[in-house]
Each structure stands twice: as C-alpha cells, then as structure tokens.
C-alpha cells in the first residue's frame, strides 16, 4: 500500500513529465489551433500550454501552379530535370494509379480479368512511369500534354483535366484525362488517380 501523499506526488510527477514531453514534441510553425470536442479551432492553446500547429504548405498550394507543374513534368525532355520534378511534386511514398485505357481493359477482359488498374509507388517507379509516357507520346515530336484549366479543390483533394494535343496546336485533342490528387500536409501529392476519359 502506498501512502496517499506519496501516490499523489508520484501522479503529479508523471503528469508534469507527460506535459513536458508533449510540449517539446509539438513545436512547429504557423497557425495555432486548439481542440474542442475533437475538432481543431483556429486561435487557441491546449491545456498545459501545448500548441497544436498545422503545416500551412498544403493550404497555400496554388491550383494553377500545381496543375502547370504536374503537366510540365510529363513534357520534360531532360532526365535530370524530370527526376528532380518528380521528387518535388510527389511525396516519397506516393502512389500513381491509372485506370487503364479501354484497349488494355479489353485485352485484360479477354484473359478473364474484369478490372485492370495499374499503379506506380515511390519516386523511382513514378520516374519510370513519367519517362515512359514521355518517350511514347512526347519525344517523337507529335504531341504534348496541357492542362484544361478546370482545376478545383476540396480540402486536400484536387481534381483537374488534361489533354494530349498535337504539338502544332491543330486538330482535336487526341486524349483527355481526369486527375484526382490527394495532397500530403507538405503540399506534395500522396495519391494520384488518373482516369483516361477518351
């Protein structure tokens, strides 16, 4: 049996240690939030002077800049610049998921697969994916990719359409796709879902 005074003091000691650990762990940057019923409310502090702060980079991501950077990486001819752009655009464990084009789905269906989804995870796989698309569609000099300009965002989800068009600007788009991106707190892409629409 532990005397009440000793038990009380050891409980207070544990609480103070816990508060110090929490306070030292949560030092970050910009806007301060406090929790109320499980939700973050701007401007405030938690008990024990512990500050909960949110990384502002994701909120500051400009849609036009993001979509322009996204499309330009697929048009980039220089391998080193393309490699750097991939690492700046996608987070290290990011996944790019492609809803396969109709002809690939038809071939898969003939083999008994009812769905065909392709994915690339991590910077190395993403770099290969982007490089192969460049080699097949852009390098021959006939086509380029461009953003349509219809980007929209809800919280950390961004959607926009892109087109593959003739380099000389003539004719109808050869292909159109819908991109749905999930952004990580640092503003880079963590999940990238690509739907080929035609």
Q: What per-residue confidence (pLDDT) applies to 61?
A: 65
- CATH number for 59-196: choose from 3.10.450.50, 3.90.226.10, 3.40.1670.10, 3.90.550.10: 3.10.450.50
Quote the mean pLDDT of the chain.
77
Selection from 137, 118, 126, 101 nearest residue 189 by Cα: 126
At a CB cut-off of 8 Å and minimum separation 6, what does 7 contact?
none
96 pLDDT higher than 60: yes
- The residue written with tokens 């071939």 in the block is 107
- Where in the sequence of the chain do the CATH 3.10.450.50 domains occur? 59-196
Q: Check: pTM over 0.75? Answer yes or no.
A: no
Q: Express each pLDDT in 122-152 by its tens digit.
A: 999 999 999 999 999 999 999 999 999 999 9
Task: Note every long-range contact of 182-187, with CB atoms under 8 Å and residues 24 or more positions apart, other chains counting.
Answer: 182/156, 182/157, 183/58, 183/61, 183/156, 183/157, 183/158, 184/58, 184/91, 184/94, 184/156, 185/54, 185/55, 185/57, 185/58, 186/55, 186/57, 186/58, 186/91, 187/57, 187/58, 187/60, 187/61
In 10 A of CB 96, how many CB atoms? 22
Q: What per-residue confidence (pLDDT) applies to 178?
A: 96
Higher per-residue pLDDT: 51 or 10: 10
- Cα(48)–Cα(61) distance, integer angstroms: 32
Higher per-residue pLDDT: 7 or 96: 96
Q: What per-residue confidence (pLDDT) applies to 135?
A: 96
């Amino acid at each position: 049996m532990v005397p009440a005074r000793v038990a009380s003091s050891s409980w207070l000691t544990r609480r103070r240690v816990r508060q110090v650990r929490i306070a030292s762990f949560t030092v970050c940057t910009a806007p301060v939030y406090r929790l109320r019923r499980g939700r973050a409310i701007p401007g405030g502090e938690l008990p024990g002077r512990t500050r909960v702060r949110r990384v502002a980079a994701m909120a500051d991501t400009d849609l036009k800049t993001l979509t322009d950077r996204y499309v330009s990486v697929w048009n980039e001819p220089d391998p080193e610049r393309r490699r750097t752009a991939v690492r700046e655009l996608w987070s290290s464990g990011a996944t790019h998921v492609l809803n396969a084009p109709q002809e690939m789905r038809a071939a898969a269906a003939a083999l008994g697969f009812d769905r065909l989804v392709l994915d690339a995870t991590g910077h190395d796989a993403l770099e290969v994916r982007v490089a192969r698309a460049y080699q097949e569609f852009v390098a021959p000099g006939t086509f380029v990719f461009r953003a349509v300009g219809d980007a929209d965002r809800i919280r950390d989800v961004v959607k926009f359409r892109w087109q593959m068009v003739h380099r000389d600007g003539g004719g109808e788009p050869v292909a159109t796709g819908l991109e749905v991106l999930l952004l990580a707190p640092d503003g880079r892409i963590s999940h990238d879902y690509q739907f080929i629409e035609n």
